[in-house]
Structure 1
Amino acid sequence: MSCLVLPDYELGDSQVISIPRDRIIDAAGYDNMVSTVRQWFAAGGATVDRTALRRLLLNQFQVTPNLEVMRDQLLGTVRRLADGLATWVPRTGSPTGIFRIQATAGSGKTQLALQLLETAAAERLNACYVCYNRSLADHVRRLASPKVEVVNFHELCVDHYRRCQGAPDFSPDAFERMAEHYVAASADFTQGLDLLVSDEAQDFDAGWVESLCSRLKPEGRLYVLEDEAQRLY
C-alpha cells in the first residue's frame, strides 16, 4: 500500500497523476491523515509496522554518522579558521618591516608562513624560513617552493660551522658552541634577504633572532611567529 501526501497543496478533483485520487492526502485532508491511514489499513487487512509508521508520521529517520563527511567538514572548518592569518596579515603594513605574530596552536601560523614564502617566490624575492624544530622544517620544506630557503636554526649553524671550521665535533655542547659561533659571525653576513620568517620564536634566544636579521636587506621584512603556550626550551 502506498499514498502521496501533499500537506501544502490542494489537488482538487481532477486526476493529474497515476496515483488514485483516494490515495492522495492533500492540504484539505492533512489534519485527518492519521485517521485516514488507519482506515486504509483496517479496510485492507494488511499487517501494520506500527513503529515504522510512527517514525514516518513524526518525520523521524534512523541514520548513522558518515565518518567521511564528518572528516571533510572538520577539515573544511579547520582550513577556513586557519586561513585567517594567511589572509589578513600579508595585507598589514609596518614602517619598520617587522611583524610579530603571537597566536595559539592551530591558528594558522604555518599557513601564513607558507603564504609569505609562496608570494616571495612568485615575486622572485630572496626568502628564508627558520624554525626551531627539525621536524617542522622538514614539513615546511615539503610544502614550500624550492626557490626559498627552509631550515631550522641549529641546522643553519652546523652548515655555517662546516663552511668556516670544517667537520664539527658533536660533543654534548656542540650545538651550543656552533650557535655561539654563528651569532658571533653574523655581523659580517651578506644582507641578501628580502623576507625572513622566524617560526617557533618563543624558543629562540634574542641573539639568534638578531643574528638572523643580519641577513636582511635594509628594506627587508621580518615576520616573527610565536606562541608562549608552546615554549618547550
Structure 2
Amino acid sequence: MGQMIPKLSEREIDRLESAAEAKLYRALRGLLPEAYLVLFQVNWILRREDDQARDGEADFLIAHPEHGYLCVEVKGGGVCFEGNTGHWYSIDRHNVKHEIKNPVEQALRAKYSILTKLRENPRWGLHGPGRIACGHAVFFPDINEAAPIVRADLPGCLIGITDDLRNIREWVGAALEYWSSNDNSANPIGPRGMEIIKNTFAHSFEVSPLISARIRDQEEQRLRLTQDQIRVLDVLRTQRRVSISGGAGTGKTVLAVEKAKRLASEGFNTLLTCYNRQLADHLSDVCGAVENLDVMSFHQLCYLRVKMAGEQSGREMLDEAKKTYPGMDLFDVQYPAALSYSLDVVPNQYDAIVCDEGQDFREEYWFPIEMLLADYETSPLYIFFDDNQNIYSRARSFPIKNESYLLVTNCRNTDQIHDAAYQYYKGEPVVPSGIAGEEIQLIEALRHDAQATRLHSKIVELIAKEKVVPGDIVVLVADGLRKQEYYDELLGRPLPRPSQWAVEGVTREEAVLLDTVKRFKGLESPIVFLWGLDTLDLDREQELLYVGLSRAKSVVYVVSSSDVSRKVCDATKHDA
C-alpha cells in the first residue's frame, strides 16, 4: 500500500467533490507499493513566479525514491478537445459539454512549480539529490479509450483511463519510466529527498501554546490546533494576501508564528512583526534563531531601519520626518514616515511579512510595511487581528482586499473564563474550548492595601502549597495610569524562596510578573490576577476587561471591591 497523504477514511473519500479524484485515490491507495509517496490535493505558493512555475495546486503528486515524481491532473466525465480553438471540455452524463482548463497544461505547470518549490527549500540544496526526473500526466477515470486523446505532446502512456485503475501500479511505473528514460542525467530522489518532499508539501506540526503551562490535565487538551486553525493554514498555502480574524484564545499568534516559520524554512526572507514590544520580545524568544526570519515590533523595525539608513547616508531621517510633520505624534506619525524615507537608502526588503495583532496598527504604518515587501503587489502579507482587542483605538484599514478568514474556536481559555471574557466580545460567535475549568475566583476588599494583602496571600499559597511554578502567575493591572501604586503594594511583600517579583519584564520561571493589561495584550498565562479595576469606568472599558480576562488559560482571580467584582464577572464568579 502506498503512503497516502492525507490518509482519508472511506467516509472522507465519499465526501470529496470530485468522484473522479475519489476513484484514483482508492486505486493508488490500494494497489501502489509502499515505496511510493502519494500526496493528494497539493498546494503551494512560490517566492518568485515565472512563466513556467506559478502558485497553484496539483490533484496528485506521486513520488518514488528511484524513479522521480509525477504530477497527475484528474478530470471526470467524458472529454473533448477542439483543435481549431484549443479549448478543452468535459462531457457530463447528459452529453452536455462544459469548458475546462487545459489538463495537460495544468499538469505541466504543476511539474515545474513543484520543482521550483523544492529548490526554494534550503534543505534541498544541502541534502537534496540535485537533478531528478519529473513528469506530468493526465487521468480520465470515466473513459475507456485513450487513442483519440493522444497528441504530439501527450503520448498514450501519459493518459490514464478506466482500465488503468485496476492496473495503477503498471500505469504509474510506465509514466515515470517515460520521463526518466528521457533524462539520463537524473539522480534518484533517495530517502532524504523523499523526506524533503513530504516536509515541503505535507508539513506536520504540533504546537504548544506560547507560554509553557504546568497545569497538565488541561494543557494536554490545548496542544493540537483545532480543525478550524488547520483549515486556515491550508488556505494560507495558496493565498498571498490574507487577513485572519478571531477572538481571544483562537490561536492567532500561534498561527502567525507557525506561518512565519514555515515561510522562512521555505526560503522566504520573512518578517514577523506586531505593535506590542513585550509581545515582540516573547515572539522572538519563541522563534529562536530561525534562518531567514526577523522578529521585532513595528517601532523596533522603524528604529533599526532609520539608524541603518542614517549610518549609510549621513541623513537624519527622523529629523526630516519631524520637519515634515511638526507637532505630530512621534511614534504614530513621525517614526513611520522616517521608516518610509529610509527605504530610499536601505532597499533591503522582505519576501514575506506576517503581522500579529494587526488591529493595533494605524493606517500610517501600512504604507512602509508594504514598501518593505520585495514585490508591492504579490509578495505574501498575512495579518492576524481581533477587532474586539482594539484597546489602542487604532483604525482598522488593512491593505488586503479579500474578506477575512475567521477563527471560531477558543483553544486557550477554559469554558468558565471564556464565558466571563466573551460577555464583553462583539463579533462572530466563538466556540468555547470544552475545557470546563474552575469558576472565576473573586478576591474582594474595599481598600487597595487590603486587596494587596489578600492577593499576596493567595500567590504564596499557590507557590508553597499548590506547587505552582511562579512563572505561571501574572498580576495584570487594568488601570495603567496608576500602575506604580499597585506594583509598590506588592513589591515590599516577600515570596517563598527562590521566587521573586518581576516588573514589566519577560516571563521567567522563578518570577511572578507584574504588568498592565495593555502591555500583556497578545500574551497568555495559566493563572492571572486581574487588579486595578476600582478606578476605571467599566462601562467604557469593556474591551480592556475582555483582554484582561482572556489572558488567563486556566484560572483567573478578579481583585477589587465586591461591587466592582460582581459587575465584572456577572454570574460567573466564586469567592477565593
1:197 aligns with 2:354: yes
Partner residue, 1:47: none
Partner residue, 1:152: 297
Partner residue, 1:88: 231
Q: Which structure dedicates a bigger proportion of its chain to strand?
A: 2
User: 2 CA distance for matches of 1:86 and 1:118?
Assistant: 16
Measure how far apart 1:225 and its partner are.
0.6
Over the aligned positions, Cα root-mean-square deviation in angstroms equals 3.0
Q: Which structure dedicates a bigger proportion of its chain to helix?
A: 1
1:25-174 alignment runs, 5 A limit: 71-80=215-224, 82-84=225-227, 86-92=229-235, 97-146=240-289, 147=291, 148-163=293-308, 164=310, 165=315, 173-174=329-330
Letter in 1 for 2:277: R
TM-score scaled by length of structure 2 = 0.26
Measure how far apart 1:202 and its partner are.
0.5
Measure how far apart 1:113 and its partner are.
1.3
SS in 1 for 2:347: coil
Q: Percent identity?
A: 26
1:207-218 alignment runs, 5 A limit: 207-218=364-375
Letter in 1 for 2:355: S
Partner residue, 1:57: none
Distance 1:172 1:101, change over 3 A: same
1:226 aligns with 2:385: yes
Consecutive unaligned residues in structure 2, runs of 5 or more: 1-213, 320-326, 393-576
User: 2 CA distance for matches of 1:85 and 1:157?
Assistant: 34
SS in 1 for 2:381: strand
Partner residue, 2:331: 175
Kept in 2, the 8 Å contact 1:113–1:197? The answer is yes
TM-score scaled by length of structure 1 = 0.59
Structure 1's consecutive aligned runs of 4 or more residues displaced over 6 angstroms after TM superposition are: none
Letter in 1 for 2:255: L
Consecutive unaligned residues in structure 1, runs of 5 or more: 1-69
User: 2 CA distance for matches of 1:84 and 1:151?
Assistant: 29
Distance 1:213 1:175, change over 3 A: same
Measure how far apart 1:159 and its partner are.
1.4
User: 2 CA distance for matches of 1:222 and 1:93?
Assistant: 10
Higher relative contact order (CA 8 A, sep 6+): 1
User: 2 CA distance for matches of 1:172 and 1:206?
Assistant: 15
Distance 1:161 1:189, change over 3 A: closer
Partner residue, 1:52: none
Measure how far apart 1:173 and its partner are.
4.4
1:206 aligns with 2:363: yes
Deviations 1:63-86 (Å, cap 9, x if unpaired)? xxxxxxx93231122333x45565
Kept in 1, the 8 Å contact 2:257–2:272? The answer is no
SS in 2 for 1:193: coil
Q: Tell me the matched-pair count.
A: 162
SS in 2 for 1:216: coil
Distance 1:118 1:101, change over 3 A: same
User: 1 CA distance for matches of 2:346 and 2:231?
Assistant: 32
Letter in 2 for 1:228: D
Q: Which of 90-99 and 112-121 deviates more? A: 90-99
User: 1 CA distance for matches of 2:244 and 2:304?
Assistant: 28
Deviations 1:153-211 (Å, cap 9, x if unpaired)? 11111112222256979x99443422222135457763732221011111111231231
SS in 1 for 2:295: strand
Distance 1:222 1:188, change over 3 A: farther
User: 1 CA distance for matches of 2:263 and 2:240?
Assistant: 15
Measure how far apart 1:132 and its partner are.
0.3
Kept in 2, the 8 Å contact 1:85–1:108? The answer is no
Distance 1:119 1:93, change over 3 A: closer
Measure how far apart 1:120 and its partner are.
2.0
Q: Which of 159-168 and 199-208 deviates more? A: 159-168
1:11-30 alignment runs, 5 A limit: none
Letter in 2 for 1:73: D
- Which of 1 and 2 has greater Rg? 1
User: 1 CA distance for matches of 2:302 and 2:374?
Assistant: 20
User: 1 CA distance for matches of 2:367 and 2:344?
Assistant: 10
Measure how far apart 1:122 and its partner are.
2.0
Partner residue, 2:322: none
Distance 1:222 1:166, change over 3 A: same
Measure how far apart 1:220 and its partner are.
1.9
Measure how far apart 1:93 and its partner are.
5.1
User: 1 CA distance for matches of 2:387 and 2:372?
Assistant: 26
